[in-house]
Structures are given as C-alpha cells and as structure tokens.
Amino acid sequence: MARFILDVANLKNSSDIQEVMDNICDEKLGLNNCMSMTCIDTTNTAQFWEETHRNCLTKKQIRKFNKKPHG
C-alpha cells in the first residue's frame, strides 16, 4: 500500500479539516471505499519550510498516526 502525505495550510478548526479530507476522498478522487485519510496534526509547525529537508514529520505526528485505528 502506498502512503502519501498531504499538508493543508491554515485550517483553523476540525470541521474544516474533516471537510477537506472528505472532499479529497469522496469527491475529488472517488476513492471513499478504498482509501483512508488521517489528520495527524492541525498545526503547521513542522511543515511548509522552503528548505525541503526541514519538512519532516515530528515524533508527535508519527505517534498520533500510529495510535489511530486504521482499516
């Protein structure tokens, strides 16, 4: 299974984040039955650097992903 990282900037509340995730899964890709999307961070603290080597997942983001039930 392939995994992709999607960074979405400047979403302030969880309903906006969920709406973006649903829109991508259902409307844009039409893959709502064969993909999942997990929000691992609602901040922009670890991403969006001009130097791409700095755009790494934090330990906290990885822990949050690993705790989320997938399937």
**pLDDT of 1:** 61
Q: Which amino acid is at 52?
A: T
Residue 48: band (very low, low, confident or very high) from pLDDT cuts 50, 70, 90: confident
Q: What letter represents residue 66's amino acid?
A: N
- As a whole number, mean pLDDT of residues 7-11 equals 69
Secondary structure string (H, E, C) spanning the chain = CCCCCCCCCCCCCHHHHHHHHHHHHHHHCCCCCCCCCCCCCCCCCCCCCCCHHHCCCCHHHHHHHHHCCCC
Domain boundaries, the chain: 14-41+49-67
Share of the chain above pLDDT 70, in %: 72
With cut-offs at 50, 70 and 90, classify the pLDDT of residue 22.
confident
- Cβ–Cβ under 8 Å, residues 61 and 20: no
Is-above-0.85 flag for pTM?
Answer: no
Q: Given this model, what pLDDT does residue 30 score?
A: 63
